[in-house]
């Protein structure tokens, strides 16, 4: 479980300290979801419960949908503005 906490904290630090590149922000959010998912899987295996595995599948489906929607919004933003930097207006 320590590994899932480390993964989550690294992703959280990447999200907090990187405010310039939106793609890295999306990657940090996905890594945070992976850390939470790993924690749920390990808890489910420890308590011998199948509900945790079902929730893990649901979280991964939602993460995939979030990535697809976020990247499509990013493509539209790029078409309108011409760049994807968050610092420039």
The values of phi and psi at residue 50, to 5°, are: -85, -15
Contact 19, 85 (CB under 8 A): no
Domains of the chain: 2-81 (1.10.287.3510)
DSSP state of 21: B
Q: Which two tokens stand for residue 81?
A: 């503005």
Q: Which helix (H) or strand (E) holds 89?
A: none
How much of the chain exceeds pLDDT 90, in percent?
A: 60
- pTM for this entry: 0.80
Q: Could you read off the pLDDT of 23-53 as tens digits, one per residue?
A: 888 899 999 999 999 999 999 999 998 899 9
């Amino acid at each position: 479980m320590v590994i899932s906490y480390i993964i989550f904290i690294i992703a959280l630090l990447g999200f907090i300290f990187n405010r310039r590149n939106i793609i890295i922000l999306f990657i940090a959010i996905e890594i945070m979801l992976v850390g939470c998912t790993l924690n749920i899987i390990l808890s489910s295996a420890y308590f011998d419960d199948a509900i945790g595995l079902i929730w893990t599948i649901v979280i991964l489906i939602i993460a995939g949908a979030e990535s697809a929607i976020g990247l499509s919004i990013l493509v539209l933003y790029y078409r309108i503005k011409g760049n994807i930097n968050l610092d420039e207006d």
